Amino acid sequence: QVRLVESGGGLVQAGGSLRLSCVASGRTNSRYHIGWFRQGPGKEREFVAAIRMPGRYEYYADAVKGRFTITRDSAKDTVYLQMNSLKPDDTAVYYCAEDAGAILSSLRNPANYDYWGQGVQVTVSS
């Protein structure tokens, strides 16, 4: 059973930056995806970014490309989401999740992820 714990959310002004962390434990396989998703008020959960392991291939939603960066620290088994040039539209609860099946064609679909963190609130004021 994989456990994911997020941290790093908060309140920031538009144009500012935040870094989210997702610490994993209990994993036994080496091929998986770690994704970041977000759910804004009254909206469906949407894909933000993902990293595919092994190989550390990165994938981004068009809305965040060029502003957000996903990275992984292998020693700490932690995935980070560096968010720069934040906009009010980025306000949401952010979740990290793991897809143990690692099917590339479904990397952006939250329904294919097996394990989820508790979520952290990110609020961007204008």
**Degrees (nearest 5) of the Cα angle 93, 67, 20?**
40
Q: Where are the beta strands (DSSP E) in the chain?
A: 3-7, 10-13, 18-25, 32-39, 46-53, 57-60, 68-73, 78-83, 92-99, 115-116, 120-125
Give the pLDDT confidence score for residue 105 in this predicted structure: 84
Using an 8 Å Cβ cutoff, are 81 and 59 in contact? no
Give the pLDDT confidence score for residue 121 in this predicted structure: 98
Give the pLDDT confidence score for residue 44 in this predicted structure: 96
The Cα 125–Cα 103 span in angstroms is 36
pLDDT digits (tens, 9 = 90+) for 94-125: 999 999 888 888 899 999 999 999 999 999 99
Using an 8 Å Cβ cutoff, are 92 and 39 in contact? yes
Give the pLDDT confidence score for residue 40 in this predicted structure: 95
93: nearest Cα among 3, 8, 2, 1: 8
Give the pLDDT confidence score for residue 55 in this predicted structure: 78
pLDDT digits (tens, 9 = 90+) for 17-57: 999 999 999 887 888 899 999 999 999 999 999 999 887 89
Residue 1 pLDDT more than 90? no
**Degrees (nearest 5) of the Cα angle 58, 61, 66?**
75
pLDDT digits (tens, 9 = 90+) for 70-82: 999 988 999 999 9
